[in-house]
Amino acid sequence: MFSRIILSVFLAHLAFGIQSVDANPIRYIAIGDSYTVATGIEEKNSWPSQLTRKLTSAGIKIELIKTLGMRGATSQQTINEVLPLLKNFKPDFVTLLIGVNDWIREGISSSKFRIRIKSLIDEIQNNLQAPKIFLLVTIPDFSCSPQKKEWGYGKSATNGITRLNKILKTEAALRNLLMVDIYPLSQNICSQAGMFSSDGVHPSALQYSKWVDLIFPYLLDHMKPKLTKSKDS
């Protein structure tokens, strides 16, 4: 407990050094599907909400102003229905986790998924305000969830999601974007007790907290130079 307090104090001092006390809060928009909109749990326990609280506890002034997502959303639905709304919010920070329904509902080809992801990334980047923070998150593996058979339709979730994640990683690397790979973590912890919500397929608040623990240090490290540059400009 004491070590956690010391760490929190250290992170807070670090954050205040890169973001002035009177700075406006970072405007955060979370884009995605059921993994982002907290299907099966309370919204306050979604991974974007937990991430926001963790950043706040580290001294980062941030506000989750909107979660733009739909249960069952594909990347194409996100392009058609979510992206037109994005410009209204003028976000400084966007997270994107999308793709599982492209595989479940469409069995999408690699070439079509790549085209859609390129379009999504480019449009999000065009709508970001300074300091322009963009985080891509890979698709988790639900293949060991209690209801995996209901959603896998006899196909290999592991093979399909791995294929789409490879595209996400490639496109992020080409643009030098921050990408955090939660796929291995989701595989390692999914057999542990309490990792799924009552619907048997979507993560629980506990599993989302594990995601946030993984994402947080990468994101904070990525934010530091951007916030410093924004403060000095």
Q: How far is it, in rounded angstroms, from Cα 104 to Cα 161? A: 9
Q: How far is it, in rounded angstroms, from Cα 179 to Cα 168? A: 8
Phi-psi region of 154 (alpha: psi -120 to 50; beta: other; left: phi over 0): left
User: What letter would DSSP give residue 228?
Assistant: H
Instruction: For residue 8, tell me if it sits in a domain.
Output: no
Instruction: For residue 3, tell me if it sits in a domain.
Output: no
Identify the CATH number of the domain in which residue 179 sits: 3.40.50.1110
Q: What's the number of domains the chain is made of?
A: 1
Partner residues linked to 68 by β-bridges:
31
Does residue 172 surpass a pLDDT of 50? yes
pLDDT in tens, 194-218: 999 988 889 999 999 999 999 999 9
Does residue 8 surpass a pLDDT of 70? no
For residues 87-114, give the mean pLDDT. 94
- pTM score of the predicted model: 0.87
Show the domain range for 37. 23-225
Instruction: For residue 233, tell me if it sits in a domain.
Output: no
Alpha-helical segments (H) within 92-204: 100-101, 110-127, 148-152, 157-174, 183-189
